[in-house]
Amino acid sequence: MATRRQFVAGATAAGLGLGLGRFPASGQAGKEMEGRAGVGGTRRRPGLQDVPRAPRPLRILILGGTGFLGPSQVDYALARGHTLTLFNRGRTAPDLFPGVETLLGDRAEGDYASLSGRTWDAVIDNSANVAPWVMDSVQVLKDAAGRYLFVSSISAHSDNSVIGQDENGPVFSEADYHEAVASGVSPGAAFGQHKAQAERETFKAFGDRGIVVRPGLIVGPGDRSDRFTYWPVRIDGGGEVLAPGDGTDWAQIVDVRDMGRFMVHLVEQEASGTFNATGPEAPLTMAGMLYGIRAITSTPVTFTWVAADFLREHRVGAWMEMPVWVYPEPQTRGFSAYDCSKAMAAGLTFRPLADTARDTLEWLKAKPEEERTLRTGLAPEKEKTILAAWHARNG
């Protein structure tokens, strides 16, 4: 049974010259939620001016809050009139929300002292990739908070061979988790096992006051992982773009702002239970995604779809070298075909792909030149070489 995490790790290893050095940190390779925004105090919050205020303002504690996903929650929650407290180490973008209370503490040290004596209507836990952190935090907060929303990952699912899996699809078991821990596998390499275990800890402490959201690939402005950003940037660069497979492979992505909004919405609705959460609403193919991105630019561009087997021969890594895409195999058929209808029924909505792509491109272009180097995608020379070989083979 190839897991999502094993698969992604394998894909990475297959990518020549794409060692872990291109990831933010080894333990965070491929993780679904937090990148590092580093946007400083110049955040723009377009599109939130018209958000109506919530009928009942809530006091929300956000664990983390300054990475990639966190700021979208904060922006939306503030627009809704909620009162926020952030809890983090104060290291990542500490100036991001000067008007928002921040309590300091380090979950790696089990240091939650600054939370003591306080109560909240809800907690949103963004910042735990290791189960023990959640084990601690839910104990600290179970009598101090009404609801606990744990940001898990679609990677909690242990089997990607099934198309259209919903929340009832298998996840890593308690035994899987303990086995991973006992065998000394790093949390990064046992990402799904840790997430699944943390989900159980959430429900153990909070019962039906617990909410678990399992995002797929979160994309958009602020994403430092570049796992989607490659495509708008590459397509905007123009010329002949190498596209993977035959265009019919599934693609699932969700805009970080849609995800942040959904999570706040779940808390407001006093939801409970588990939600697989990625997008868009109707199935999207790689062709649908790349052609949709083409629409945001005037640059002349053509796509050459290169067969998966040929890419394998040329040692092209899925996911990191060919972002959003994985090799179509029996065990990955469902990798980008999760059923998120429960989340949609609970209020998950999706902005148009063109908005996501354009905003992502503009965000990247606004960065200083030296910060614009992408962490993902085919190196330009490699793309040229493979395209030439592909054309040679096909006459």
Residues that bind another protein (CB under 8 A): 247, 280-283, 287-298, 300-303, 349-354, 357-358
Measured torsion, CA atoms of residues 256, 259, 265, 269, in degrees rounded to the nearest 10: -160
Q: Which residues pair with 255 in a beta bridge?
A: 219
Q: Supply the minimum distance, in Å, between the C-beta of residue 134 and another protein.
A: 33
Sign, CA dihedral 44-60-103-371, equals negative
Strand partners, 60: 84, 122
Minimum CB distance to another protein, residue 351 (Å): 6
CB nearer to another protein: give 13 or 354.
354
Nearest residue (CB) to another protein, 22 versus 358: 358
HSE-CB at 126 with a 13 A cutoff on CA atoms is 28
148 or 305: whose CB is closer to another protein?
305
The amino acid occupying position 222 is G
Q: Which is nearer to another protein, 303 or 390 (CB)?
A: 303
Distance in angstroms (rounded) separating the CA atoms of residues 37 and 93 = 7
Rg of the chain's alpha carbons, rounded to an integer?
Answer: 20
Q: Closer CB to another protein, residue 2 or residue 51?
A: 51
The CA distance from 11 to 329, in Å, is 13
First and final C-alpha spacing in the chain: 39
Q: Which of residues 163 and 287 has its CB atom nearest to another protein in the complex?
A: 287
Minimum gap (Å) between residue 299 Cβ and another protein: 8
- Closest distance of CB 283 from another protein, Å: 7
User: Residue 284: in which H helix or E strand, if any?
Assistant: strand 279-285
Least Å distance, CB 350 to another protein, is 5
Q: Which is nearer to another protein, 65 or 280 (CB)?
A: 280
CA angle 188–129–124, rounded 5-degree value = 160
Q: How far is the CB of 245 from another protein (least distance, A)?
A: 14
What is the nearest approach in angstroms of another protein to the Cβ of residue 356? 9
Q: What's the CA gap between 190 and 93, in Å, rounded?
A: 28
CA dihedral 132, 136, 142, 147 (to 10 degrees): -50
Q: Which is nearer to another protein, 273 or 352 (CB)?
A: 352
For the CB of residue 232, give the shortest distance to another protein in the complex, in Å.
11
Q: Which CB atom, from 128 or from 293, has the smaller least distance to another protein?
A: 293
Q: What share of the chain is helix, strand, coil (3-state, %, to 5)?
A: 40, 20, 45
Cα 61 from Cα 148, distance rounded (Å): 9
CB–CB of 91/66 below 8 Å?
no
* Residue (161 or 297) nearer to another protein, CB: 297
Contact by Cβ (8 Å): 320, 378: no
Long-range contacts of 292-297 (CB under 8 A, 24+ apart): 292/353, 292/354, 292/357, 293/231, 293/232, 293/235, 293/353, 293/357, 294/235, 295/354, 296/232, 296/236, 296/354, 296/357, 296/358, 296/361, 297/232, 297/235, 297/236, 297/238, 297/361
